[in-house]
Amino acid sequence: MAEFAFELNDEQKQVRDWLNGFASDVIRPAAAEWDEREETPWPVIQEAAKVGIYSLDFYAQQFFDPTGLGIPLAMEELFWGDAGIALSIVGTGLAAVGVLANGTEEQIGTWIPQMYGDVDDVKLAAFCSSEPDAGSDVGAMRTRAVYDGATDEWVLDGTKTWATNGGIANVHVVVAVVDPELGTKGHASFIVPPNTPGLTQGQKFKKHGIRASHTAEVVLDGVRVPGHCLLGGKEKLDERLARARERAKDAGAGEGERVKNAAMATFEASRPAVGAMAVGTARAAYEVALDYAKTRTQFGRPVIDNQGVAFQLADMRTQIDAARLLVWRASWMAATGKPFTAAEGSMSKLYASEVAKRVTAQAVQILGGNGFTREYPVERMHRDAAIYTIFEGTSEIQRLVIARALSGVPIR
């Protein structure tokens, strides 16, 4: 078991510095252009594939870092470069986590490589959970998956929304209802292979921030997928559903018990990583504000000579470091098998995302009128930061998860 340490080892430092160089030299120069275009930055993704960042091998190496810090280090540096472009580079990872969390070894080995492709033929994947009427309330999910025993196929019908890479991905991972009477316990995840008939892209969203990342609806109309595309397999699903039905027969047996469903297993695994993304954006905005305050003069002296500005910067840096430590703790706990008894994963995502919003807003304020223009990157960073308190569980949902963990009460 890896001991927790505040000092990174030499390999981690090398990876961090390498990613920082890519973010500085490739991502940042392209950030403003792709934010304005609101399109997937294919040239940057392809460049990331060429150097080995957009690849299964790279993410596997970071994922299996025994300290748990590989993924958060990578996320912080890439999102320090630019949140929209970085999300386009790492968006496939959420679908990959969905397969890792719910799939068999054979499914993991078959589908995750197809999500990335190779240097000469880059692929994308999308994780599809949210729906127009089922965001935070996953129990309201309506997309159905019905098993056709005659052909050993699952038939999927419904509409997914807010899907990163939705519709343009080669592989889609779709969460659907297989037993409506069981609520969230009746959900399962399915692989929809490339070019499957019936899957189409719906509305592409024009967003406030992370505009270089493609976000769209995914429409499933009679989509038929082979039985082996059910993540975990039908035998495992049948056993899980049978246990859920038995618990449902006993009026109080299931109350207060933590039961994972397909979507929640994915989100629990990814929340500290989202916290690291938020830390990267916050750190970028802080650095711009610090440099500006040291070089911008007003009333004959640098802006930072004013306590009102200097104290803001002190608070910004303190909050960023605190957020990073929460992310590192949760990531280390997950890697070493320590249970999130106090919802430490949600804590890290909650605090880091709120810090990103505060710090980027303070950065805009420190730059004054310049911060409100697109000539300076803090305007874009402020818009981008808004997403962290929304996606993969809003701040309100994180507080609910934490409160339930602390109290043992099914707070609503």
Catalytic residues: 392
Residues 6+ apart with CB under 8 A from 144: 156, 157, 158, 176, 177, 178, 180
Type and span of the H or E element at 144: strand 144-148
Distance between CA atoms of 181 and 300, rounded to whole angstroms?
70
Q: Which DSSP letter does residue 194 get?
A: T
- Give the whole-angstrom CA distance, residue 53 versus residue 11: 15
What three-state secondary structure class fits 272?
A: helix
**What is the C-alpha to C-alpha distance for residues 118 and 62, in angstroms, rounded to an integer?**
18
* Phi, psi dihedral angles at 380 (to 5 degrees): -70, -40
Tell me which residue of 351, 406, 392, 382 sits closest to 90, measured CA to CA: 392
Q: What beta strand segments (E) does 227-362 contain? A: 297-298, 301-302
Nearest of 386, 351, 353, 382 to residue 365 by alpha carbon = 382
Q: 3-class SS at 364? A: helix
